[in-house]
Structure formats: structure tokens, C-alpha cells
Chains A and B, each alone.
Chain A
Amino acid sequence: AQSVTQPDIHITVSEGASLELRCNYSYGATPYLFWYVQSPGQGLQLLLKYFSGDTLVQGIKGFEAEFKRSQSSFNLRKPSVHWSDAAEYFCAVEGAGGTSYGKLTFGQGTILTVHP
């Protein structure tokens, strides 16, 4: 069965600092990978996704993520964090193809706090 691990439950950074949120997955083949963000009182918003091709994917709000097959990782990065990036971030995986269309497995989530 597929699984997702986000090792960091809570990360604090200063505004303007760089950010990297870690995500490791377990899946037998190449999965579809996603990062979602949830602000308080809001739904889960898709930041970016990886299906195939270029392993560095660009998303909204200046985020990017890199798929590393050898490390089973899909870490999320941003070069300069803004106070409005404070939220909870979820990594998710879907088994590519088959019948599990839209059936995402989520990580625990990482809460990001941004200090001024």
C-alpha cells in the first residue's frame, strides 16, 4: 500500500528566508505526487503536481518541488517566504493509472509558521 511521510510536523522560518518541506513516499511504481496548502478556515488548495517528465515542477505562489526517484522524495521549496505563506502543507500521492483515480494518500501535514 502506498504511504506518505512528512517528517516535520512544525517548521518556523523568518520572512524572506528560504523554505524546504520534506516529503517521502512509498509506492511500487511512479506515482502521481501533489502538494496542497490549507490556510485556516480554507479548503485544500493545490500548489503543484508531478505526473511525469521534468522532475522539477513549478507551482503557484512561487513554490517548486523536485521529484527524486532514488530517494522516493518530493520536497517542496520556496526561495523567499512571505508571511502569507503561513499555513499547513500536505504532500499526497496517487497511484498512477489503475482504478484509484483521485484516491489520494496524504501525509501528516507540516505546519509552517513565519516570523516577521
Chain B
Amino acid sequence: EPEVTQTPSHQVTQMGQEVILRCVPISNHLYFYWYRQILGQKVEFLVSFYNNEISEKSEIFDDQFSVERPDGSNFTLKIRSTKLEDSAMYFCASSDQEVKLFFGSGTQLSVL
């Protein structure tokens, strides 16, 4: 079965630093997403991306966050100045038009 690939699996950074989380969605998918799960809390939607622009974003997705599809295969989430509360598992997902999201295995971000 095709997979969504996320790198790195674990990222440690200092507060205030910029981080980029990387994802390779499934090749023929058109819709891309980022979700996150803070330890002990629910998985929550961050942003959806289609046709090279943000379709929808949550209240969490403020100006510190940005997404990009720099080429035909990668999809990235950038956090410009990380805060302690950004520590979470970040999941990338992609889908075709069938509303069946395929999730990656996640990147555990630890902000110290």
C-alpha cells in the first residue's frame, strides 16, 4: 500500500528556533494536511492545502506556521520561532478526492 513518509521521526530544537518538518505525500494525491497531537490530548487539525494554496486552517495555525509544497513531491510545515507549547507529534496526511486520508507515522517535535 502506498505510504506517506515523514522525516525526521524525532526533532529536538531550542525555543525560538525555526524548524521545518518534511513530508512526502502519496504521489497522485491532491490534498495535503498537517495535524498535531500534544501528549495526552486529541489529534487536532492544523491546515489543509490544495492547488498550491491553503484551503483551511485552524486557530492554532497562526503567523508562526507556514506550509509549502516546494516541488512536486514534498510538503513542509515550518514553525518560525518555536515555543515550548509547540512540542507535539505532527502528522502529515494526503488524500485523493475520496476523503480517505493517509497519514504518515509522524514527527515528534520536542522544544526545549
Q: Chain A residues with Cβ under 8 A from B56's Cβ?
A: 99-101, 103
Q: Chain A residues with Cβ under 8 A from B106's Cβ?
A: 43
New A-B contacts (15) at CB < 8 Å, excluding given A102-B95, A109-B43: A41-B105, A43-B6, A43-B91, A43-B103, A44-B43, A44-B93, A46-B102, A49-B100, A99-B56, A102-B31, A102-B33, A102-B99, A103-B48, A104-B43, A105-B45
Using CB atoms, name the residue of chain B closest to A32: B99
Residue A75 CB within 8 A of the other chain: no
Categorize the interface residue count of chain B. 20 to 34
B45 & A101 in contact (Cβ 8 Å cutoff): no
A101 & B100 in contact (Cβ 8 Å cutoff): no
Q: Chain B residues with Cβ under 8 A from A99's Cβ?
A: 55-56
Which B residues form the contact surface with A (CB < 8 A)? 3-4, 6, 31, 33, 35, 42-45, 48, 50, 55-56, 91, 93, 95, 99-106
Chain A positions 72-110 with a Cβ under 8 Å from a chain B Cβ: 90, 92, 94, 99-109
Chain A interface main SS type: loop
A2 to B52, CA, bound (A): 27
Q: Chain B residues with Cβ under 8 A from A32's Cβ?
A: 99
Q: Number of A residues contacting the other chain (C-beta, 8 Å)?
A: 24
Most chain B CB within a 10 A radius of its CB, from A51, A92, A102: A102
